[in-house]
């Protein structure tokens, strides 16, 4: 299912009412959506149920990061929701990532598909300078992200969240089937805001991203539906470019 779903729209809204009104007003039906901390902490499982009823594939972006036992038990609970993708921070380590996958497996109901588990490598808002001077990580971004992706693969995680800049090398090192979801996507004319490692949808496609996450580029646009279609069009142009 996810292969044919290249664009997750980030529903970064303060309430279910705001999110659902946005979808209705702009005629977004059954598109893949991302529910993050802002919306889930306020609304909890009811927002997932509301989106299920409307037929949206769902990425629940809670970026879990805790001791392995806690993450396993949390994933067991979250697996009972009807979601398609969920994530953890790779910096929680291999044992934590393995525990997350076990929790999801144990919590998935009979007859339901286990959600895809992704590991966030380094946030797209992070720079080399931040790694070196704040986190005291001496290596370059690409090396750190690739290492985290390899750790995630060894821990039986299904893929990663990374920036477009690292998507190709991760596919080379971890294999094409290892999923690469890339946020930090902007059309050429849009502001980068708090993101650091950004790219266009077309660049994401030709660089080997499996899918993209788009938030404010669509949600704050003057014409969200038209802008969403522009993101899709650019992604599809990228596809043609790769094939030729
Ligand atoms: O896991 C994520 O979704 C994520 C990881 C990351 O490294 N960077 C990142 O921006 N995100 C999420 O992707 C969305 C990007 O939003 P915009 O910058 O508004 O397009 C936000 O909801 C972020 O929480």
ipTM here = 0.99
Atom of ligand 1 nearest to the CA of 213: 13
- The total domain count for the chain is 1
Q: Whose CA is nearest to atom 4 of ligand 1?
A: 183
- Reply yes or no on whether 114 is catalytic: no
As for ligand 1, residues whose beta carbon falls within 6 Å of it are 10, 12, 36, 61, 63, 87, 120, 123-124, 161, 183-184, 195, 213-217
Instruction: Report the residue among 124, 125, 148, 219 best suited for mutation to probe ligand 1: largest number of ligand atoms under 8 A from its CB.
Output: 124
Task: List the catalytic residue out of 34, 63, 72, 76.
Answer: 63
Distance 56 CA to ligand 1 centre (A): 19
Q: Whose CA is nearest to atom 23 of ligand 1?
A: 183
Q: Indicate which CATH number applies to the domain containing 167.
A: 3.20.20.70
Instruction: Report the residue among 215, 219, 227, 231 best suited for mutation to probe ligand 1: largest number of ligand atoms under 8 A from its CB.
Output: 215
pLDDT at 23: 98
Q: Whose CA is nearest to atom 9 of ligand 1?
A: 183
Distance 183 CA to ligand 1 centre (A): 5
Give mean pLDDT in consecutive 10-residue pieces for the chain, a chain of 244 residues: 84 98 98 98 98 98 98 98 98 98 97 97 98 98 98 98 98 98 96 97 97 98 98 84 36
Please tell me the distance from the alpha carbon of residue 74 to that of residue 38, in angstroms, as a whole number: 18
Beta bridge partners of 179: 159
Token representation of residue 8: 């997750």
pLDDT at 240: 42
pLDDT at 5: 80
Domain containing 239 equals 2-243
How far is CA 166 from each of CA 4, 76, 242, rounded to the nearest angstrom? 22, 30, 17
Can you give the chain as a three-state secondary structure string?
A: CHHHCCEEEECCCCCHHHHHHHHHHCCCCCCCEEEEHHHHHHHCHHHHHHHHHCCCCEEEEEEECCCHHHHHHHHHHHCCCCCCEEEEEHHHCHHHHHHHHHHHHHHCCCCCCCCEEEEECCCCCCCHHHHHHCCCCCCCHHHHHHHHHHHHHHCCCCEEECCHHHHHHHHHHHCCCCEEEECCECCCCCCCCCCCCCECHHHHHHCCCCEEEECHHHHCCCCHHHHHHHHHHHHHHHHHHHHC
């Amino acid at each position: 299912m996810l292969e044919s779903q290249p664009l997750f729209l980030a529903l970064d809204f303060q309430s279910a009412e705001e999110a659902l009104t946005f979808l209705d007003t702009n005629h977004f039906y059954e598109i893949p959506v991302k529910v993050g901390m802002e919306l889930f902490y306020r609304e909890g499982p009811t927002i997932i149920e509301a989106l299920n009823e409307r037929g949206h594939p769902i990425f629940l972006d809670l970026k879990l990061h805790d001791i392995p036992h806690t993450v396993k038990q949390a994933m067991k609970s979250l697996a009972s929701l009807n979601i398609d993708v969920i994530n953890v921070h790779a910096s929680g380590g291999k044992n934590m990532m393995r525990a997350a996958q076990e929790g999801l497996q144990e919590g998935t109901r009979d007859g339901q598909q286990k959600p895809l588990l992704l590991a966030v490598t380094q946030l797209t808002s992070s720079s080399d300078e931040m790694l070196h001077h704040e986190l005291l990580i001496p290596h370059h971004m690409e090396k750190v992200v690739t290492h985290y992706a390899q750790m995630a693969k060894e821990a039986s995680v299904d893929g990663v969240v990374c920036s477009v800049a690292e998507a190709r090398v991760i596919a080379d090192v971890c294999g094409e089937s290892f999923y690469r979801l890339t946020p930090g996507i902007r059309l050429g004319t849009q502001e980068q805001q708090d993101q650091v490692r950004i790219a266009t949808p077309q660049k994401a496609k030709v660089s080997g991203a499996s899918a993209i996450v788009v938030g404010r580029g669509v949600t704050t646009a003057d014409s969200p539906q038209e802008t969403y279609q522009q993101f899709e069009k650019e992604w599809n142009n990228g596809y043609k470019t790769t094939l030729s």
